[in-house]
Amino acid sequence: MNELKLALHDGPWEIGQLGSYGMQPLRCDNGNGYYFSLHRNVVLDGDKRQDYADLAEQLLAKKGFSPARGTLGADDHDGQLIQVVVRDERDFALLLVEFRKNGNIGISADTRCRPGDSFELGDMLFGDENLGQGYLPIDTESPTDPRFFGITPGDPQFVRQPSPAPTP
C-alpha cells in the first residue's frame, strides 16, 4: 500500500472515516469471520488519470499481482472513472484503485475473510476503547509512514497539536 501511494503522490493522503481506517476487524461470513478494510484518498490532476492508472497497474504487476483495468463513463475517450483492480490474490479479497475525472484518487484494500469473531478480536486488540471517541486522532498519513496496528490513546505521536493562535 505504501509503495503504491508513494508512486502516485508523496504527500499526505486522507484517511477515511472510522470504518475505513484499516485496523478495526469487520464482520464477514455471516458473523463467523473477520476482515480488515483500509481506504485512502488524495486529489491530484484529473487530466493525468490515465498516467496514474498506468503507473498503478505497472507497479502492481511488478509486485506479482494480476491487475485488471476498466473505464466507466463515456463522456470522452478517458471516461469518467478508471479502475485498476486486483481480486482474490494473496491476502487481498479486493484491492481497488480508482482515478476520477475530478482528480480524486482512492485506494481501497479489503483482506480475505478469516475465521473468528470480529467482536472478540476487537476486544483483544483495543479493550474497552471506543474507536469512534478520539482513539484514532490522525486524519492524514504520508506514504512513508510505517504501517502500525493499534495505538496507545494519548500517545504523543498521535495527538493532534492545536493550531497556534494568530499573532495580532
Looking at residue 15, its pLDDT comes to 83
Separation between Cα atoms, residue 168 and residue 130, nearest integer Å: 39
Higher pLDDT residue, 8 or 125? 8
pTM of the full structure:
0.83
Looking at residue 122, its pLDDT comes to 87
Looking at residue 28, its pLDDT comes to 96
Q: What is the mean pLDDT of residues 94-108?
A: 95
Looking at residue 127, its pLDDT comes to 78
Mean pLDDT, the chain, as a whole number? 83
Higher pLDDT residue, 47 or 76? 47
How is 41-83 classified by DSSP, letter by letter? EEE--GGGHHHHHHHHHHHHHHTT---EEEEE--SSTT-SEEE
What is the tens place of the pLDDT at every residue in 108-121? 999 999 999 999 99
The answer on pLDDT for 166 being more than 70 is no
CA angle 85, 87, 92 (to 5 degrees): 110
148: cell is 502500525
Q: What is the mean pLDDT of residues 23-33?
A: 92
What is the tens place of the pLDDT at every residue in 119-165? 999 888 877 776 666 666 567 888 887 666 555 555 655 555 544 55
The answer on pLDDT for 60 being more than 90 is yes
The answer on pLDDT for 82 being more than 70 is yes
117 contacts 56 by C-beta, under 8 angstroms? no
Looking at residue 151, its pLDDT comes to 58
The H-assigned helical ranges of the chain are 2-8, 49-62, 118-126
Rg of the chain taking only CA atoms, in angstroms: 18
